[in-house]
Amino acid sequence: MKLLNIKSLLLFFLGFILCVNIASSQVMENKLSQEKSLYLKQHASNPVHWLPWGEEALSSAQKLDKLIVISVGYSSCHWCHVMEEESFEKQDVADVMNQKFINIKVDREERPDIDEIYMKALVLMTGSGGWPMNIIALPDGTPIWGGTYVPKTQWVQVLNQVEEFYRTRRSDILEYAKNVKEGVQKEALVTPTADKEIYSNKLQNELAENAYKFTDKINGGFGNSQKFPLPSMLNFFLRFSTENDNIEMKKFVKKTLFKIAQGGINDRVEGGFHRYTVDNMWHIPHFEKMLYDNAQLLSVFSKAYKVFKEPRFKEELYNVYNFLDLKMSSPNNLIYSSISADTNYEDGSKEEGDFYVWNKNELKQVLKQDYKWVSDYYSINDKGYWEKENYVFIQTISDKEFASNINLDLNQFKEKLKLVNKKLYNFREKRVKPITDTKIVFSWNALTIRGMADSFKATGDKIFLEKALSIEKALSEKMTSNNIIFHSNSSKKLDQVLFFEDYSYYIDALIGLYEVTFNEKWLVKANDFTQFSNETFLESNGYFKFSTTKETLYTNTLINLEDGVTPSANSVMNFNLFRLGHYLGNKQYNQHSKTMINNISGKIKERVTDHLFWLWLSHNYSNKFYELAINGENAKQKAEELMLKYLPNTLTAASNKSSELYLLKDRYFEEETYIYVCVDNTCKFPVTTIEEAEALLND
């Protein structure tokens, strides 16, 4: 009997151990192959036991009391793939990671909430951020170490040291984690102000001058090393310099945009802008192309064209349009997220920028008798040299001056250049192409609608309007269900996490469509999504939380307020509330927007360069903001004439017939088209011509 019991116990324990091993084996393997994200799929063959972000990974870490490696990147990120090749594809590195950690891969474009939380922690811990972002966290997700690209040897040392500290000095690790958590949570705090009016022209001048100190007066842009276009920066200085007649700042904006248009950051062969340059002269790009950059640069060049009337700025609108239409558009009229910096060859090798660079022999082969002037124009010399006998095109003098140098008038030169670029394009198309990430990101498509609408405002060319309408139609049909917005085409589930950025940017796009069509259905739709956003994202402090994530993260509510390479969703929503308040006569929206802008004043003063769209918005409150109400048989025609002018302190409502819209109600007369110039719906005597309306605006 005793022998039987012993056998039974042995069988029980063997079975228990077997079950534990089976359960462990189910966790301890790479589980990315079934993911829809291109970036996650690219890591599916790594020997690292990657798990996607989710309950399985987080609960496993807590059950096994293991630290978590959270590695965040995106498909077109060059250094993400460098670290993969050097570390994540190596068995010896994988052995350390698999034995000592639970390993999670995150596509930042698919889960911007996870990226945002850990990026704040990374910046707090190290003073800077970037991708790949590699975080080591406690089993509950609280970060204790962070870095970006790390060479293999150093990465293994970090893994071993942090894990050893966790085992031998846990109390110190927990104390440090507590401080990081508190620091990140503090970032989300906004202190209300008791002042009713906190912005004055004097304060705005001071803040503008403070921001201007960080600009590169020689090459344009911010800083003296890497160069990002930073549309919020350019938009702010364009508005401030125009409204305050600041000649120096206006020249700075013009110079920056010319440097961007003429530099290597601009792909002159097929159009489209790269993400940034690694030098301070806009020459050598980090070669990936992102939708959000190109969408916003449509808006920036549109506004700049209105101010400066520079033909080159108008040309860039068509260059970006053609690039998005040719290279980034899906069959259902939505726009893909990005094109990689790297070319992937059949032998497994990868080369950054290979698709975009040129050597002299290639150019001579393609261009023949045109080589000499083209090499001068695109600086196939010491100025344009990159590395390994390769050149990146950069233009150093204006088209007008260059045309004169080769004895052509400007139009003749433009036609000649177009033919050359077509030859170069056809030759380059035979190369192995970098991978396009066909992920559809809702918020970036909404930015593109805004960019196309602004391009129509600047040119009057309906190809931009038609593109904007086609994208909106596809978003509405393919990426929404009632008021639920699917952030990407890789996560279309009704119970998915909702992201505030999608709503904020979409509402702005819908308002933008009203601004160019004057069809009131767009304002109705914008208002519906605004009300849903208020119910879903609005926090007690008056700002909107980042997402509806319900997963156990180390911070309960994340609020993003910084304007970076894209404006913060909260600053865009502030502008949405401001405009809808005026269009619809909704005083609650107006008060909410004013409270938001007042309460963020402390953060703007503290770090002005991180809040430049907020500073742009503050001018709506400190100076007169005009409502233009145009009603009558020719109202839309007159409104389209006004569109072509740069009037950042105005909004326009127009209708060819009687309307119940707040700004247009009781202002229709059959016999005449009147333009009402109003402030808070208090209007001056109506006029009938654009010139008269402009005179009232300038009074």
What CATH number has the domain bearing residue 274? 1.50.10.10
- Predicted local confidence at residue 193, as pLDDT: 66
Rounded average pLDDT over 151-157: 95
pLDDT over threshold 80, residue 511: yes
Match 């000499």 to its residue by tokens: 372
Q: How far apart are CA 445 and CA 473, in angstroms?
A: 11
Contacts of 91 (CB under 8 A, 6+ apart): 47
Q: In this structure, is residue 196 part of a structural domain? A: no
Regarding whether 573 and 598 lie in a shared domain, the answer is: yes
Greater pLDDT, 25 or 181? 181
Q: Examine the domain organization and report whether 104 and 181 are in the same domain.
A: yes
Give yes or no for residue 173 having a pLDDT over 60. yes
Average pLDDT over residues 283-303: 97
Q: Tell me the average pLDDT across 354-367.
A: 96
One-letter identity of residue 605: K
Answer yes or no: is pLDDT of 477 > 60. Answer: yes
Which alpha helices (DSSP H) does 112-230 contain, by range? 112-126, 152-168, 170-187, 201-212
Domain closes at, from 622, 637, 663: 622
- The average pLDDT across 548-565 equals 78
Q: Is 237 helix (H, G, I), strand (E, B) or coil?
A: helix
653 beta partners:
629
pLDDT at 658: 94
Residues 201, 622: contact at Cβ < 8 Å? Answer: yes
The 3-state secondary structure of 570-587, one letter per residue: HHHHHHHHHHHHHHHCCH
Percent of the chain scoring above 70 in pLDDT: 93
Q: How confident is the model at residue 671 (pLDDT cuts 50, 70, 90)?
A: confident
Give the DSSP H or E segment for 687. Answer: none
Residue 4 reports pLDDT greater than 50: no
pLDDT band at 305 (very low <50, low <70, confident <90, very high): very high
Average pLDDT, integer, range 462-477: 98
Token reading at 388: 């390994």
Bridge partners, residue 358, by sequence: 391
> Cis bond leading into 132, ω under 30°?
yes
Q: Bridge-partner residues for 73, per DSSP? A: 107
Q: Is 192 within a domain? A: no
Give one DSSP letter per residue of 128-158, joined into a string: ---SSEEEEE-TTS-EEEEESS--HHHHHHH
Are 615 and 604 within 8 A, CB to CB?
Answer: yes
Confidence band, pLDDT 50/70/90 cuts, at residue 516 = very high
Q: What pLDDT shows up at residue 224?
A: 86
Q: Residue 493: pLDDT band by 50, 70, 90 thresholds?
A: low
* Element (DSSP H or E) covering residue 293: helix 291-308
Strands (E), 422-488: 436-437, 480-481, 484-485
Token digits of residue 607: 């770090």
Our CA angle for 133, 136, 137, nearest 5°, is 120
Residue 48 inside a domain? The answer is yes
Of the residues 400, 430, 460, which one is the last residue of a structural domain? 430
User: Which stretch of DSSP H or E encloses residue 652?
Assistant: strand 650-655
Residue 401 token pair: 């001056």
119 within 8 A of 111, measured Cβ to Cβ = no
674 has which bridge partners? 631
Contacts of 606 (CB under 8 A, 6+ apart): none
- Domain annotation covers residue 226: yes
CATH number of the domain where residue 135 is located: 3.40.30.10
Q: Hey, is 432 helix, strand or coil?
A: coil
Q: Output the pLDDT for position 446.
A: 98
Q: Rounded to an integer, what distance in angstroms lies between the CA atom of residue 682 and that of residue 699?
A: 15
Q: For residue 627, which of 584, 669, 658 has the smallest C-alpha distance?
A: 584
Residue 125 domain-assigned?
yes
Residue type, 477: E
How many residues does the structure list for the chain? 699
Give 653: exposed, middle or buried? Use CB within 10 Å, 0-12, 13-18, 19+: buried
**How far apart are alpha carbons 413 and 332 in whole angstroms?**
37
The 3-state secondary structure of 520-561, one letter per residue? CHHHHHHHHHHHHHHHHCECCCCCECCECCCCCCCCCCCCCC
Distance, CA of 142 to CA of 60 (rounded, Å): 15
Query: How many Cβ atoms from other residues are within 10 Å of residue 105's Cβ?
Result: 29
Q: What's the whole-number average pLDDT of the chain?
A: 91
Q: What is the pLDDT of residues 272-282, one digit of tens each?
A: 999 999 999 99
* Tally of structural domains, the chain: 5
Please list the alpha-helical segments (H only) found in 28-68: 38-42, 55-64
Answer whether residue 132 shows pLDDT above 90: yes
Contacts of 274 (CB under 8 A, 6+ apart): 264, 265, 266, 267, 285, 286, 287, 288, 289, 293
Is the model's pLDDT at 215 over the cut of 70?
yes
351 domain residue, yes or no: no
Residues 340 and 380 in one domain: no
Query: What is d(CA 43, CA 51) in angstroms, rounded to the nearest whole number?
Result: 10
**56 and 158 belong to one structural domain:** yes
- Helices (H) and strands (E) counted in the chain, each on its own, are 27, 18
**Cα atoms in the Cβ-side hemisphere of radius 13 Å centred on 675:** 25
- Name which residue leads in pLDDT, 138 or 348: 138
Between CA 453 and CA 586 the distance in angstroms is: 25
Mark whether 251 and 398 lie in a shared domain.
no
Q: Could you tell me which residue, 78 or 262, shows the higher pLDDT?
A: 262
Residues 6+ apart with CB under 8 A from 289: 76, 267, 272, 273, 274, 275, 323, 338, 339
Contact 453, 506 (CB under 8 A): no
**156, 93 in Cβ contact below 8 A?**
yes
Predicted confidence at residue 349, as pLDDT, reads: 86
User: Which residue range(s) make up the domain with 363?
Assistant: 356-430
Element containing residue 77 per DSSP (H, E): none
* Residue 350 pLDDT level (bands cut at 50, 70, 90): confident
156 and 122 in a common domain: yes
Q: What is the pLDDT of residue 180?
A: 87
Listed residue (221, 240, 229) closest to 618, CA to CA: 240
Please calculate the CA angle 554-560-566 and round it to the nearest 5 degrees: 130
Looking at the fold, whether 48 and 90 belong to one and the same domain comes out as: yes
Name which of 44-53, 220-229, 405-414, 542-551 the model is least confident about.
542-551
Whether residue 416 is found in the same domain as residue 374: yes
Which has the minimum average pLDDT: 183-192, 226-235, 374-383?
Answer: 183-192
Nearest Cα neighbor of 374 from 389, 391, 388 is 391
Three-state DSSP string of 345-373: CCCCCEEECCCCCECHHHHHHHHHHHHHH
Distance CA 442, CA 439 (A): 10
| Helix, strand or coil, per DSSP, at residue 430 | coil
Give domain status of residue 195, yes or no. no
| Percent of the chain with pLDDT strictly greater than 90 | 81
Query: Do 213 and 288 have their domain in common?
Result: yes
pLDDT at 11 exceeding the cut of 70: no
Structure confidence by residue, pLDDT tens digits, 605-642? 999 999 999 999 999 988 889 999 999 999 999 999 99
C-beta of residue 302 within 8 angstroms of C-beta of residue 460: no
C-alpha to C-alpha distance for 538 and 573, rounded to whole angstroms? 11
The pLDDT score that the predictor gives to residue 23 is 40
Q: Which two tokens stand for residue 115?
A: 């990226």
pLDDT at 10 over 60: no
The answer on pLDDT for 14 being more than 50 is no
Domain assignment of residue 1, yes or no: yes
Residue 640: CA atoms inside 13 Å, Cβ hemisphere, count?
14
Mean pLDDT of 481-486: 93
Give tens-digit pLDDT for 408-445: 999 999 999 999 999 999 999 999 999 999 999 999 99
* 11 and 73 part of one domain: no
Q: Indicate the residue among 595, 622, 649 that finishes a domain.
A: 622
By CB neighbour count within 10 A (0-12 exposed, 13-18 middle, 19+ buried), where does 640 fall?
A: middle
User: Are 481 and 554 members of one domain?
Assistant: yes
Same domain, 491 and 607: yes
Q: Give the mean pLDDT of 683-692.
A: 94
